[in-house]
Structure 1
Amino acid sequence: METTVSAAETRSTRIPDQRRILGATLVGSTIEWYDFFIYAQAAGLIFADQFFKPLGRDGTLAQIVSWATLGISFLFRPLGAAIAGHLGDRYGRKMVLAGTLILMGLATALIGVLPTYATIGAAAPVLLILLRILQGFSAGGEWGGAALLAVEHAPARRRGVFGAYPQIGVPLGLAVATTVLLALSAIFGQSAYQDWGWRIPFLLSFVLVAVGLVVRSRVAESPVFEEIRHRASESSAPLGVLLKGHSPVVLRAALIFAGNNAAGYMLIAFMGSYAAKTLKLPQTQVYAAVAIGAVIWTAVTLWSGYLSDRFGRINTFLVGYGLLFVTAWPAWILIDKADITLFAFALAILTLGLGLSYGPQPALYAEMFPRRIRYSGLSVSYALGSILGGAFAPMIAQLLLNKTHGTWSIAIYLMVMSAVSAAALLATPRSIERSAL
């Protein structure tokens, strides 16, 4: 009788606990990426004039350098990933996630009060870059912890769906960031927004981070970590074990992500800037189109988690990269029509491939690495994939555009990145799918 009651109690409490876990990973991830993306948006539309204007009269070099600051932060993701992964594998996922959220929020809010070049001269871009580096350091440690907290709480047959929840924090963060920017642009007008209104989204980070910390404080530690907490042999020097014995897996995992991240940051940062600055589409309409694309990206990402549970992670990934490959060229043709409806449609079709090649990632990564080094493995692979993919994608796109005077070269770049990631997937043994965590 006691066994029956205990089992019933376990079943009755499992669903609320799972919902709390999914809610915490989603809310925290959304806030973290909101902070990250408002910088990406500002790098395309604000920072060239406010912090780098003296670099050239026509603004081209200033814009390239502004994009470069976006990429510089990615170079510090592996450091954040290595430290957070090492601590997360030894002391727990939950503690590290609180630290990454605080660091991201603090760096973001400080950007909101940072004086511009006109006020303090060369110190302004230097401080901006330093704060961006802190954002990159934080982002490097955030993803692996949120992904593991979700996947390691999941039933074996639902890892894909559970893992997709922290993933949709990325497009949701983009949607929230873009909606805030759209509202502020509409309220204050483009001139006032570019002068001082751009600071408000950064300052909002204080409030959002406080909410995220409260939500995350109410969740339990990962059950997989609890099992190995007292096993010194399994938790000793996880980063060293990763680098010594699993480097080929890390590289393959990084390449799997690179194509998605390149396309993602093209949508997040470059396409909106290109539409507003080069094609002269209204900035508020561009923000609205990006927000719509982010909502579609969110839905497809969650759906792809379900598909990966049913049809396999690798199969779902491959369909996603196939779609990115075949839609890259026509998407840029539509964008170059300089019509806001066609611009929105181009973003929408790209988000189909983006979502399908993003939702299954946490579950696949978790299945690629043993538990004793899993946080380190996920975080470092994700960070390296970001460097290979999205770190300098907007800057590369700008350079290609300046060199070829056509967006066809950017389309080819995205197609090549998709093909590289697909090849890495084909080199991944399918036997790892649904393996015991």
Structure 2
Amino acid sequence: MKRLLMLSLALTATAQAATTITIATVNNPDMVTMQKLSPEFTKKYPDINVKWVVLPENDLRQKVTLDVASGAGSFDVATVGAYEVPIWAKNGWLDPLTPLFAKNADIAKSYKVDDLIPGVRKALTVGGNLYAVPFYAESSMTFYNKDLFKAAGLTMPVQPTWSQIQGFAAKIHKPTSGVYGICLRGLPGWGENAAVFSTVVNTFGGRWYDKDWKAQLNTPAWKSAMTFYVDILKKYGPPGATSNGFTESLSLMSQGKCGMWVDATVAAGLLSDPKASAISKSVGFANAPVGPGTPKGNHWYWSWNLAIPKSSKKEDAAFKFITWATSQEYIAMVAKEKGSWASVPPGTRVSTYNNPNYKKAAGAFSGLVQSAINSADVTNATKDPVPYTGIQYVAIPQFQALGTQVGQFLAGAISGQTTVDQALKQAQTAADKVAKDGGYQK
């Protein structure tokens, strides 16, 4: 009896000693895999339990931003984008990771920070300190169904134009057979429809602001871009396009319901996975389209990263998780879980692209992805000069709200609730207000 009591007390003490960390992440497939593999983390660190909060992209951004800005401390690990990291670091909302690597020599040695792709690492570094580690990095590209193209007698060029894409969509579009010419994000949000649409604006010769921070959303370039985007989705997109973000579009494309899809390069591995994609053997890849204004800004740059909010009280446990989930070890674990190196989180490590297994599995798209990421220049993405950095976003704190507003106006035009002219007028007013209220206009 005494022995049982002692065992019970020991188990209770162990349970009490365990640390529970709460991780906020987006419901993208790669993050769902991370959640699925988290028992492997618990095996490695049995004194750390993991609690998950998995949300759609727009909801995640809103919830995490509010929590981190207020210092509420609900999350120990936050999934944040390339846009947020430098802004949040300067606001003092994130823990610097460089001192934690110095403090944890064993983790630093196995993690190999220098193996992170230099440009990706640079985007997450502020004042000499790394403030997040990349889970995956991406640009944008064109996906197409080679079987549908062959049946229609079409050939996709390596560098298509938006005009060509529209012509292809018209020939492939057969809604009575459940096949739509093209899928594009229509779901409102600065990281949803506004992200893809901003690259269209860039290549049509548009920009968000001129050098004096005067809004440029009522210009001919913006009108041409928005008219094009609205028309191609209305004529050749799936019904209910304003409900489709990245995840919904990925599902449609992987089911063979879209002839083409222009979106994040991270989808290349997902569409090539025979376990998740019905078109794994017929998916083709090309560069993101360019418009009539300039070839600049067609490829966006983005990374989803893991960071530790300053408000977390469990910094050490959180650090162990984020370094585990972005390590070489984790990437190899995903390859084993998925049965293919093509399905691993891309765009983060030099060693991934040097790995013969990855080269063999991802040969159809890895070169295009690398080229797209490398050519995405956040300092030179528009025809005319601008006072901001960013390709599919404007790197100011107010853009999160502004981009979502403009995304809502765009969705209104797609759904037919408003006209393009009305949407642009509303967008211009909103952008001007941001520049004035934010003190950007002199």
Q: Answer 1 or 2: which has greater helix percent.
A: 1
Same-fold call, TM cutoff 0.5: no
* TM-score, normalization by structure 2: 0.27
Q: Answer 1 or 2: which has greater strand percent.
A: 2
Which has the larger Rg? Answer: 2
